[in-house]
Structure 1
């Protein structure tokens, strides 16, 4: 959780206007987004954090929407 907070606070840069840019890695990822929540969701691909667990089988997911999709299978 602390790592995710660090990423969203320290590796998020601003480009021109309202363009948010992912600065992850030694060679920056450089994906750009117009909304902060889209960028923070994108950052999850760079870290092994999986905070969303299925209450039925305990399988873990990076994004809440992936958990919701999985739960429909039960």
Structure 2
């Protein structure tokens, strides 16, 4: 995953208002975060990558919480 996309994912995960903005208007939010106005087909692919990464981080977080609860490392 390109560095700019990784940075966007981290910012969206950490900042609730940015996350809400991304959910309402992902295209504008992503273009603002990466600083590039991309063609629709490319921005759609970037948005999908970001959504997939955020979903995976959420799953990983839930798994970590379960492991901590039951004492698995």
Shorter-normalised TM range: 0.3 to 0.5
Give the TM-score, by structure 2 length.
0.33
Give the TM-score, by structure 1 length.
0.33
**Larger RCO: 1 or 2 (CA < 8 Å, sep 6+):** 2
